[in-house]
Amino acid sequence: MKMDEEISHFSHPQHILKLQYTEIPFNCDGCKEAGIGLKYICEQCQFELHKVCAIARPVITQPFYKKCEFKFYNRPPGMRICDACRNDVLGFVYHCSSCGFDLHPCCANLPRVLDDGEHNLYLCLKLSSSCHHCGGKGPGWSYRSECRNYNLHVSCVKELWVESWQAMYLNVDNNKVRELQTRIPSLEGNLQSHHRGKGGKLKKCCKIAAGAVTVIVSALLGDPTAIIAAAIGACISK
C-alpha cells in the first residue's frame, strides 16, 4: 500500500508531518516506545511518530484474542501494561474494554512469521519451553524457531535492544556496551546444545542465523525489513 508523503495528525495539529526513513533510533511521541525505519516527523518541532502509530486504524482485531475488539486510544485508560511485550503503556494503545487486554501499536502489528534469511520464526501467545534469554516461561508473546527448540520473549528482545540503544547512543561507557553485547542471545550456539546427542550435527530446521534476533528487534521497532535488521545488527551484534 502506497503511503502518503505528508499527513496531518490529531496529535500534532499545528504542523504537517513528513514521511522519512532513518537508521538512527528515535522515541515515538505517540506510543512513547523506541522506533527505527519509516517514521512521520515534524521538521519544525522534531515531533516523531512510528509509521504504524501515524496511520493507526481506529479498531482492530487480533488472532490471539478472537473474542476481543481493540479500539485505539491516544492515551491509556488508566495504568496499563502491553500484553505482548509486558512494558508499561505510556501513550497510544489498542485496548479491549471487555477483556482488558492492551497492545502497543507496534506490538499489535508484529508479523506472525519472520524470515531470518534462512528459516522462519513464529509468533506465539505462550512459550512452549523456556526463553533462551531469561530462562523463564513468564507471560507475554514470544518468537519460536521452526524446530520449537528456540524461544525468545518479545519482552526480552525489547529489553536487550533498548539497553543496547542507550549504550550506543546515549554516551554510556564502553564497558557497558561490551557487557550488553555479551548478553545478546546466540541462536546457533544454543541450538547446537540441543542436538549434541546426534553426532554433533544440527538438524536442518535448527540452522538459524544469529541475525534472527535483529529481525525480531526490527519488527518490534515498527519496520520488519531485512535492511533495517542489518542496521540494528551493527548495534547489538558481537
pLDDT at residue 200 tops 60: no
- Any idea which residue has 549504550 for its cell? 167
Residues of the chain with CATH 3.30.60: 6-54, 59-108
Q: How does DSSP classify residue 205?
A: G
**CATH of range 6-54; options 3.15.30, 1.10.20, 3.30.60, 2.60.40:** 3.30.60
Q: What percent of the chain has pLDDT over 70?
A: 66
Of the listed ranges 70-79, 93-102, 195-204, the least confidently predicted one is 195-204
Give the pLDDT confidence of 12-53 residue by residue, as tens digits: 999 999 999 887 788 999 999 988 888 999 999 999 999 999
Cell of residue 123, nine digits? 509468533
Give the CATH class of 59-108.
alpha beta
- Closest among 35, 43, 34 to 5, alpha carbons compared: 43
Residue 217 is classified by DSSP as H
pTM over 0.85: no
Give the Å distances, CA to CA, from 149 to 17, 31, 98, 190: 44, 33, 35, 9
In a 3-state reduction of DSSP, which class is residue 21?
Answer: strand
